[in-house]
Structure 1
Amino acid sequence: MEPGSRSKLAKTLPALPEIPEKQYFSISEAATLCGVKAHVLRYWEQEFPQLRPLKRRGNRRYYQKHDLLLVRQIRSLLYGEGFTIHGARERIGQAVRNDGHSPQLVLDIEVEDDARECSPQHWRQRLQTLRRELELLRNLCVRSD
């Protein structure tokens, strides 16, 4: 570990809510799900090149699940393990270089129960969610024309 990559303020963080099965999240939803404020997310976008939410009309940000997982990892490194911004950026970049995977694959991802994923109920709910998201996207496209 390089000098200065960690501060002396490591602490235990409160648990975060489960990320819903949804394709896109607004900045306020992302902030709530990740336990940080919206302005912190905007700042981290400048500091961490891996964090790139979709930007639409009016510069509105739309975060995807992999973005939220990355934000949670950044939060854990900064607030939980006491890393500095520079140290956290290096740690995430190093993990990507070593594994050759994108950031979301090196994060600690909770694996869902396989039995639940195979149930018809799970897929029915997933399809309903996707349908709602597609309708929202269609409405966004219609409004921008």
Structure 2
Amino acid sequence: MHVEFPDKRYYKIGEVAKAFNVNTSLIRFWEKEFDIIKPKKNAKGNRLFTPKDISNFKLIFNLVKERGFTLEGAKQKLKKNPESTFDKYEIITRLESVKAELIKIKNQL
């Protein structure tokens, strides 16, 4: 899944949920389940996610929703070898963006 975000410092929970096409409750749930997601909170208590949080959400989304890992399996995968998991995900993300660009070029021809 190729998710695009505008270049911002912080993202609201609604923006994150809409980009991933999930409910905000799932975002809050994953925040509690995975300790790699640490949003900032403003004075009202609203969650503000950083680009690092977004990249962690992409990784979790890939493991759970696209590759079919259970939550426990995803947690173990992230704890066992986080660098390798993230590196592989980065490669997949880059390939997906190249594919999307090639499809766009093909449609323009």
Question: What is the TM-score when the length of structure 2 is the normalising length?
Answer: 0.72
Q: Choose which of 52, 55, 78 in structure 2 pairs with 1:66.
A: 52
Structure 1: how far apart are the matches of 2:27 and 2:76?
A: 18
Q: Flag structure 2 segments of 5+ consecutive residues without an equivalent.
A: 98-109
Q: 1:81 to 1:17 in 2, by over 3 A?
A: closer
The alignment partner of 1:62 has SS state of strand
Choose between structure 1 and 2: higher helix proportion. Answer: 2
Q: Does residue 45 of structure 1 match 2:45?
A: no
Greater Cα radius of gyration, structure 1 or 2: 1
Question: 2 CA distance for matches of 1:50 and 1:39?
Answer: 17
Stretches of 4+ aligned residues off by more than 6 angstroms: 103-106
Equivalent residue letter for 1:69 = S
RMSD after superposition? 2.5
Q: 1:65 to 1:20 in 2, by over 3 A?
A: same
Aligned with residue 93 of structure 1, among 76, 79, 94: 79
Q: Distance in 2 between matches of 1:57 and 1:107?
A: 34
2:18 to 32, 35, 39: 32
Q: For the Cα contact (< 8 Å) 2:40–2:49, is it kept in 1? A: yes
Q: 1:105 Cα deviation (Å)?
A: 6.7
Gaps of 5+ in 1: 1-14, 113-145
Q: Per the alignment, do residues 104 and 83 of structure 1 end up closer, same or farther by CA in structure 2, a change over 3 Å counting?
A: closer
Q: Residues 110 and 64 from structure 1, CA distance in 2 versus in 1: closer, same or farther, beyond 3 angstroms?
A: farther
- Give TM-score, length-normalised by structure 1: 0.56
How many matched pairs? Answer: 94
Question: Quick one: distance in 2 between partners of 1:107 and 1:58?
Answer: 34
Q: For CA contacts below 8 A with separation 6 or more, give which structure has more relative contact order.
A: 1
Are 2:63 and 2:74, in contact at CA under 8 Å, matched by a contact in 1? Answer: yes
Q: Percent of pairs identical after alignment?
A: 26
Structure 1 match to 2:42:
56
Once the two structures are TM-superposed, the CA of residue 95 in structure 1 deviates from its matched residue by 2.5
